[in-house]
Structure 1
Amino acid sequence: MLQGNTILHAPSVRHRPGTTDYGLRSTQHATRNITHMPSNDTFHPVAWSAWLAAAALPALSTRNPLYLCLTLLAAAVTYLALGRRSPLAKSWGAFVRFGAFLWLLTIPFIALTAHHGEIVLFRLPASWPVIGGPITGEAFIYGLTSGLSLLALLLVFAVFNVAVDQGRLLRMTPGFIYQAGVVTAIAVAFVPQMVASWQAIREAQQVRGHRLRGVRDLLPLIMPLLVTALERAMQLAESMEARGFGGQVLAASARQRLAEQLAILVGLGALGAGFAGSGFWPGQRLLVGILLAFGGGALIWAFWDQGRRVRRTRYRRWHWERGDRSVLVVSLLAGVGWLVAWLAPGDWLFFYPYPPYSPWPTFQPVLGLFILALAIPGLLLGPGVRTVMSNE
């Protein structure tokens, strides 16, 4: 019998002389035929959430190409390690390739349409509409950094979606938005599941001798894909109905509702003031950080209090292992370090290639180490195998 990555042996049984234990022989025969297959088990979903927040911060807060390249490197190491464990990596690979295509498209688009800068690479005739004029190195660098930011963000979210499947994502949904969380989880998993079904149907049709030569040959692929999607939708609806989705929520007292409403109002006001201050008072980063933290804390408390009234049952508990704690601690340290650099006075994260600023990015080794530390999930995962019994 299997449980997780271990083999549970049946207890020993006394037998009378002259009898034969065929079950014991079959168990011994199956134990001798053990194969190893890639494992899909990774780290705790909370640890992955902390990793997602820490890895998304550089892509959202800076255009420095050096930091963005390090973010891409850390996310790529983790993505490649997950690709050996999860079949979802192949489906999300299409989104990563699409992001790379957008990046390659962004560079010439900005270089041909933005004609500002002092480093002139070459000139196009001024009579040409839109693209006519000097093609500058600053525009090329700006297009490079803009595409890098988008590609890094896509790769980070691809890693998270490969590591945390739909079931775990649903379980992590806060209680106060459980209905919207179910819809979001289904929407996020729709396209990867469709891509995986398309690939499986296409391989099956190729085995049967089907060849795709034109639009008419798509019908044997589209019809099974549509039927598969409808069957999956029916199964999902039946499982949600069986588990009592949309059940009753415990009623709140008038005082509790008033406290929640005030907390939401104050939290939204503090967040609005913080975001406005970050744009109008860039020198007051500490005050902006306090407002954002206070507003976020008020909203989190209000939503947590609402979520307590939602009845939820759990049949399995997530356990914390040493690797989970390592990923969580490293992600928290990297995220806090990056936030401190963003709140600190100075231009550690600022980059703008156009004059009067320098087109060459600056680099702080400490921030680079924070980003590289985010590759720890890929380094800890390794090849990873699980033991499977065989009856052959």
Structure 2
Amino acid sequence: MQIIYQNIGKSLLALNSVILLLAFVFNDPFSWFANDYSHARNLIRPKGEIQKLVILDSQAQDNKSISSSTNGNTGKSIEDKNISRIEIRKAQEWKIFIDGLELPVDSTKFTALMEALLSLKEFTNLGSDGSKFGFDLPYKKIVMYDESGTEFQIEISQQTATGGGNYIRNADSDIYLMPINILNLLDKSDPLHLVDRKLFADLTQENSFVLEILLSKNSKINYKLGLNDKEWFFLEPEIIAANSVLVNELVNRLASMESRAVYLKEISNWKNIPSLELEIKYSKGVVRDDEVLNSEDLNTQLISERITKSLTCFAKDSDENTICKLSGIPLYYAMDTYQLSQFTDRSKEDFKAEIPTP
């Protein structure tokens, strides 16, 4: 009898262990193979750096254009067709090409996507029956080309039940379970997700810096500021000390200015407003310590890099964002109206340094 009880006890213990193991695996299906996954062979093995990446819908056909429209109040640009093709190529820097348009890349988002793609592993092969893992529904294709011209193709279907990863199929039709959610990095609802939305991201202060802001039809907002030895000065018509704290805030806001959404074409429900043109000029260089601070010297020294950008705003969307065009970029930017007013409603007087009372 004692032997029978011992056997029953061992059986119950084994059963409990199996139940606990199953519960653990089903609640966290990736953790049990995390260590083995990191040592598996890479799914994408380029010879040298990746030079081009193409993102397509599984339903993409000969028509490769993308059009965009507003997505309610989410601030996204979304497809209004079931076809998409986005090509990202590297020359001196990465650029996005959509329907013949060349657009700037959001380096942070694109770097995260590339790192995720190159970290995918050949682990947990689930066979080749795509219908079990969402490949009978619309899915994303990614084709990558390395320096030698070698092509690497993967297909990404639905996310897993826990939402922590995706099913990915390679060119040999092998399907793998991946603990990385690539679709989140692509943002399926927004084909322009990887487009850089910062208007003045290249605005960085150095030892010496000149910033000029001109607003059309408003002579009060027309000023030229120079930075020297961490202090800001108005340069025209005469040199006057500026409030460096407020000017630094202005420059930081300008450098971080980002649109809420971007569009490839005008949308019919936009409301026209009186046109507003804001011109931003900035120059960078180095002024020697023995230079006398004056407008002529600064302009002479600051020839290493001079950038002029014009922002023309002409409409509002259904969310009351201000629609603007930036010189040289074939996009429409939906700008936060209040954020924009920080530059269009503040005159030179607002940035003058306070003169101490004797």
What TM-score do the two structures reach when normalised by structure 1? 0.22
Q: More relative contact order in 1 or in 2 (CA 8 Å, sep 6+)?
A: 1
- Higher helix share goes to which structure? 1
What TM-score do the two structures reach when normalised by structure 2? 0.23
- Higher strand share goes to which structure? 2
